[in-house]
Amino acid sequence: MTKKTFHQNGGRTWFIVFWFILPFTVLYSAFTIWPVIQGVIVSFHRWGLMGKQGWVGLENYQKFLGDRFFWQAMQNTTLFVVMTVPLLVVSAFFLAVLANRPSRAKRFLRASYYLPSILSVSVVSFITIYMASPYMGFLNQLLHSLHIIPAEVEPMWLSKTALVRLTLVVTTVWWTLGFSMLLFLSALQDIPEQLYEAAKIDGAPSWRVLLSITIPILGPTFALVTFLQIIASFKVFGQIYLISGGGPGTVTRPIIQYIYTTAFTKNNLGYASAMSYALFLILIVFSLIQLRIQNKKD
């Protein structure tokens, strides 16, 4: 191939590549990059639903530093993350182990574990409200019929602070663990079978195989799932808004709900944008930590 022909072919290739990536670039710029830039602009202004009202500089950023409702919402979100992530990671791992065992039911188990993930947040919230309602709810009826709680006791799963937090955590874990379970399942299937055979020949019990082979090899997957769930849990909004409304009072209100209320109820988009970028910074930090750990593992 001559140098001229090579350049002609290379130019044709780049021309084709350009037209393939152009639609994505235009759409990504219009619906992702520009809204981010516009959000920064809004955060430096007093901005309502009717538009820009005036330049305020860093005032919106200084305001949330002394806003007790902002810090309460951030505390609620952090508590939700601390309660949800460990339970979800452990549950997803053990369900993946069960789904990976050779049996006739493994396909059914995999489908069953993943099935809740395809439900919409509104459906999941309706199911939770129906099951956790006092007097007529399925959960209280079950606890009464099994004599776990006395007939005169009626737990208020959706109005007592501790119980509503527990309800939101269990609902979120049940709804979202399917994807994490698939990540663990994929990693389990990549472990060489020879390692298990060697451990079996040496007479290692199942718990020793789990602790000495399976879990150490899945270290990068544990790190990946943990940080993905931390990021996802910090962005929680839908199920809490629909199930508890952030209540009782504001004890379960997450930061995104507070941002939403500030923007569209209090008509203060500038301040809401500033708080959004505070959350964005937190998520960026966790993302960088995840990438650093993943690169070290690789």
Predicted pLDDT of residue 2 = 52
Pairing of strands 45-48, 51-55: antiparallel
Burial class (CB in 10 A: 0-12, 13-18, 19+), 84: buried
- CA dist 46 and 211 (Å) reads 56
pLDDT tens for the chain, residues 1 to 298: 555 554 555 567 787 888 889 999 999 999 989 998 999 999 998 888 777 888 988 999 999 888 999 999 999 999 999 999 999 999 999 999 999 888 888 888 888 999 999 999 999 999 999 999 988 889 999 998 988 888 888 899 998 999 999 999 999 999 999 999 999 999 999 888 888 888 888 888 888 888 888 899 998 899 989 999 999 999 999 999 999 999 898 999 999 999 999 999 899 999 999 999 999 999 998 888 888 877 766 5
| 266 Rama sector, left if φ>0, alpha if ψ -120 to 50, beta otherwise | alpha
CATH code that applies to domain 67-297 = 1.10.3720.10
Could you identify the residue written with the tokens 């950023």?
A: 61
Both structure tokens of 160: 């007592």
Q: Where are the domains of the chain?
A: 3-43, 67-297
Predicted pLDDT of residue 15 = 77
